[in-house]
Amino acid sequence: MMEYADIFCVPIKEKYLIHAPLHRLTALVNSHAVSQIRDALQHKTPVAGSLSSLVHQLQTPVFPYPSPRDNPELSPLFLGLIPTRGCNMGCHYCDFAAPKQDSPVMSLEMARNAIDAYFHLLSESGNRHAEVHFFGGEPFFADRVIHFAVEYARWRADQNQFSVRFEVTSNGLYNTNRCQWIADHFDTIILSLDGMPDIQDRHRPGINGRSTADIIVRNAKIFSDNSIELVIRVCVTSETVERLPEIAHWIAQEFRPSTVCVETLSLSHNAEVINFTPPDPLIFAHCFDAAAHILRQAGIETVISTADTSNPRSSFCPVGKDALIVTPDGAVNACYLLEKDWVNRGLDLQLGKIDGQRFMLADEAVTRARHLTVDHRSLCSNCLCRFYCAGGCHVNHYTEVPAGQYDDQCIQTRAITFTRLLRGMGQDDLADQWLNSTVEIKESVMQKNDHLVAIGGLL
């Protein structure tokens, strides 16, 4: 990879934020220091004092450049099962077009075959740990399939002396018996809960518009009182963005999640019909930061999927990481979204199918999915966040535009990422001042090329 491709420089008021994800380095310097560092890296010009140590760090990466998997053997991130695309809710912004009540349901035989194929693959690779994740629709709309799959996978794990972990993404609309069963049998639940009852019922009513808030709040409290890890997923619209700190305070008071995952509305036909719109990206960044502060004081992590600065990555999601996601009819895909949506984007994310108790996967399909990395997304080529958001969702985020033509998702991601880097350095006052200056925050987030030194002859 090109030398210094991960070293970036962003103006923050009168200072400059230097960040190099692969070097685990973040620094705040003045304009004169920027020139000295650039010259030292490009032309090997000597520098003295504290800058000498900084330049040395920038010449010594800690992490390798994130690259696609190239091992011939599959190493699945997890087995994903979609018991059904059906659902018992009528969320106003739902972008899943599957029928709510009569979508196909995975047979118990198909669930068993998928688990057998997965454990066979793990045994062949010498991996002794299994991860089984459930997606929908609402997975528990086909609760018989999940009950069987969990018990069968646990039995297979015991027989093979494997460890096994279960995770589910759920709307939380079920009775207390089922809720307690989930708490007893799952390791993690990602629960969609957009806020206080008035927000929840406005965003996520049941079928025929009935209220769901009381049931889902009750179940969130049951999860909070058990050992299952609770992750609350909050969807934010232009109507609710300024209430995000209030939502954070309510969550911290009422529940005990490990994490709150905050995402902005993705436009869909259903959302447009009811006039739901995404929030302004800079208002969202400001309110997200305030909410994160409230939750941090309660010991709760706050994340947004496109601004995860914990580790560099080349792919935003399970696509390209050998995740095997099985649909009700036995197709094996790299993505849990609807096939029609990724086909409309010109993507082929089908890896193969279940054939008896084996995966029948096409090598070229696995390779194709593995190479869907940020390196092929032109919008992202000069952006500091490329090592963290990796371009976002392959299906829902259009990145085939020139570098630096940022959309709202990019703007909010950049603003939140820069803020987190500043706060991680203890620069809270500077972060607050910068977030409260519309002119200065726009200067930073709209910068079209973040590279500190020339890459491919360009800067």
Question: Residue 175 above 50 pLDDT?
Answer: yes
Residue range 294-304, pLDDT digits in tens: 999 999 999 99
Answer whether 325's CB lies under 8 Å from 80's CB: yes
Average pLDDT, the chain: 93
Nearest CA among 415, 431, 189, 443 for reference residue 293 = 431
Residue range 397-438, pLDDT digits in tens: 999 999 999 999 999 999 999 999 999 999 999 999 999 999
For residue 73, what pLDDT is reported?
Answer: 86
For residue 191, what pLDDT is reported?
Answer: 98
For residue 458, what pLDDT is reported?
Answer: 39
Q: Choose between 243 and 60: higher pLDDT.
A: 243
For residue 95, what pLDDT is reported?
Answer: 72
pLDDT level of residue 97 (50, 70, 90 thresholds): low
For residue 64, what pLDDT is reported?
Answer: 87
Residue range 261-277, pLDDT digits in tens: 999 998 777 777 788 89
Question: Residue 440 above 70 pLDDT?
Answer: yes
Q: Average pLDDT, stretch 155-183?
A: 97
pLDDT level of residue 100 (50, 70, 90 thresholds): low
For residue 459, what pLDDT is reported?
Answer: 41
For residue 217, what pLDDT is reported?
Answer: 98
Residue range 120-136, pLDDT digits in tens: 999 998 899 999 999 99
pLDDT level of residue 47 (50, 70, 90 thresholds): confident
For residue 411, what pLDDT is reported?
Answer: 98
Q: How far is CA 96 from CA 247, 266, 324, 445, in A?
A: 25, 11, 20, 32
Residue range 345-391, pLDDT digits in tens: 999 999 999 999 999 999 999 999 999 999 999 999 999 999 999 99
Question: Residue 98 above 90 pLDDT?
Answer: no
Q: Average pLDDT, stretch 153-181?
A: 97
For residue 2, what pLDDT is reported?
Answer: 62
The domain segmentation of the chain, as residue ranges, is 8-66+374-445
Report the distance separating Cα 274 and Cα 54, nearest Å. 52
For residue 274, what pLDDT is reported?
Answer: 80
Q: Choose between 64 and 172: higher pLDDT.
A: 172
For residue 154, what pLDDT is reported?
Answer: 98
Residue range 107-121, pLDDT digits in tens: 999 999 999 999 999
For residue 456, what pLDDT is reported?
Answer: 44
For residue 275, what pLDDT is reported?
Answer: 82
pLDDT level of residue 209 (50, 70, 90 thresholds): confident
Q: Is the Cα dihedral 280, 284, 285, 287 positive or negative?
A: positive
